[in-house]
Amino acid sequence: MADIQPQDHRAYMQLALEQAKKSPPKPTNYRVGAVIVDTSSNEILATGYTLELPGNTHAEQCCLLKLAEKHGVSEDNLGYVLPKTLSLYTTVEPCSKRLSGNLPCVERVKRLAGNIKTVYVGILEPETFVAENTGRTSLKDAGIEVVAVEGFEKEILEVATAGHIKS
């Protein structure tokens, strides 16, 4: 899929940003991209973007649903079939609350706390839809490191908010 050197966090974030650009612009959501990497083999296991799959799907959710389908398990059972050496790259901090009633992405990631060791984020979630996102703290409490990949903030925000009414 992509020839990225191990631990090249900027290149993986760029790939996540390219995924985000595939998401349809809408005033009611952020366009987010995500990439899951097995750090032991440097293999990209899944990519995803907001609204890639049917329903009100988020980028991280799409990655996990595609992995579940690939392995023939439910999303709940992914931890049994995935390596214990994963990193998640996401352009926007995983959500801690879903206004749609779907399971928040933070909860999906926490279910894989034994597999996902680090979440790399491009920007923290703006408070447009969910004020006081507690995702970062919740992930850290589950033993998952959260690391900012700097230098993409302006472009990520432009992509994320395409379709929003600018005031």
How would you class 28 by CB atoms within 10 Å of its CB: exposed for 0-12, middle for 13-18, buried for 19 or more?
exposed
Please report which helix (H) or strand (E) contains residue 110, including its range.
helix 105-110
Known catalytic residue: 60? Answer: yes
Catalytic residue of the set 18, 43, 52, 60? 60
| CA separation for the pair 105, 29 (Å, rounded) | 14
Bridge partner list, 119: 88, 146
Parallel, antiparallel or unpaired: strands 145-148 and 116-123: parallel
**Token pair listed for 146:** 């959260």
Q: How many CB atoms lie within 10 A of CB 166?
A: 4
Catalytic sites, residue numbers: 60
